[in-house]
A = this chain, B = another copy of it.
Amino acid sequence: MRIGMLGTGIVGRTLGSGLIGAGHEVTMGSRSATNPMAMEWMAGHETGAGVGTFEQAAANAEAVINATGGGVTLEALRAAGAANLAGKLLIDVSNPLDFSKGFPPSLTVSNTDSLGEQVQAAFPEARVVKSLNTISCDVMVNPGMLVQPTSLFVCGNDVAAKQETRELLGTLGWAPESVIDLGDITTSRGTEMYLPLWVRLMGALGTPHFNIAIVHQA
């Protein structure tokens, strides 16, 4: 699949490399078509990796992944262009974390709204699926690094887009039964509001390399 990866941070680069390893083509998008982080990332791949502006990355893509920070997500998507997102699967991996008052971060939006909802509202023709925002990027691309299968979530209004996300996650090693469909895009609130617990778990466990497994009744 041709994927436009918006955001050149550790999440975008790690997830982009993981997707290339799974056979996808990934164009890393950023403000500048010659972003040094993106250029260095591209140089680390023999094939499958490209760089461009947010607009170029989205225009060329079959599916777009938003891996920018929550604080710049809407601005980055506006730069990508609504026309370049229309009709496309847009996987929103971002979290509305606010580190401006130090650690632990609070959320810039929560409780009665979410960043996932704001993205869908701002780009009504994009097929937004919130996913992958509940784990660190190392676990995103290597679910087998944990001692047992764990759980991921998909939230979105478009059922087909959630199925496409499930298939894309499958190429990264996430078994279909480990991906739980929580419902429409308003369920993004739950996965984003899980972040304050995730952050404290990272502190208690001393590592970001963990995830939750949903355990059912016997």
> A residues engaging B (CB < 8 A)?
104, 106-107, 110-112, 144-148, 150-151, 153, 180-183, 186-187, 189-191, 193-194, 196-201, 203-205, 207, 209-218
Most chain B CB neighbours (cut-off 10 Å) among A112, A151, A215:
A215
**The one of B110, B200, B212 that contacts A215, using a Cβ cutoff of 8 Å:** B212
Complex interface: chain B residues within 8 A of A197 (CB): 153, 182, 190-191, 193-194
Give chain A's interface secondary structure class: mixed
Of B182, B200, B211, B212, the contact of A183 (CB 8 Å cutoff): B200
Nearest Cβ on chain B to A168's Cβ, whole angstroms: 20
Contact: B212 with A217, CB < 8 Å?
Answer: no
Contact B209 A145 (CB under 8 A): no
A183 CB contacts on chain B under 8 angstroms: 200, 203-204
User: Which residues of the other chain, B, contact A150 by a CB distance below 8 angstroms?
Assistant: 215
For A107, the closest partner residue in chain B by CB is: B111
The distance in angstroms between the C-alpha atoms of A151 and B200, with both chains bound, is 14
Q: Are A216 and B212 also in contact (CB < 8 A) when A110-B111, A191-B197, A193-B193 are?
A: no
A212 to B210, CA, bound (A): 12
> Please, which residue of chain B has its CB at the minimum distance from the CB of A196?
B190
| Most chain B CB neighbours (cut-off 10 Å) among A110, A186, A197, A213 | A197
**Pair B196/A205 contact, Cβ less than 8 Å:** no
Q: What's the Cα separation between A187 and B217 when bound, in Å?
A: 28
- Give me the 3 closest cross-chain CB pairs, A-B, nearest first: A190-B197, A212-B212, A209-B217
- Please report the C-alpha to C-alpha distance between residue A78 and residue B96 in the assembled complex, in whole angstroms: 36
* Given A189-B196, A190-B196, A209-B203 contact (CB < 8 Å): no
- Give bound CA distance, A210 to B214, whole Å: 7
The closest CB in chain B to the CB of A138 belongs to: B217
Q: Are B209 and A212 in contact (CB under 8 A)?
A: no
Kindly state the separation between the CA atoms of A209 and B144 in the bound complex, as whole angstroms: 26
CB of B215 within 8 A of CB of A187, answer no
> With A210-B214, A214-B212 given, is the CB distance from A181 to B194 under 8 Å?
no
Chain B nearest CB: distance from A195 CB in Å?
Answer: 8
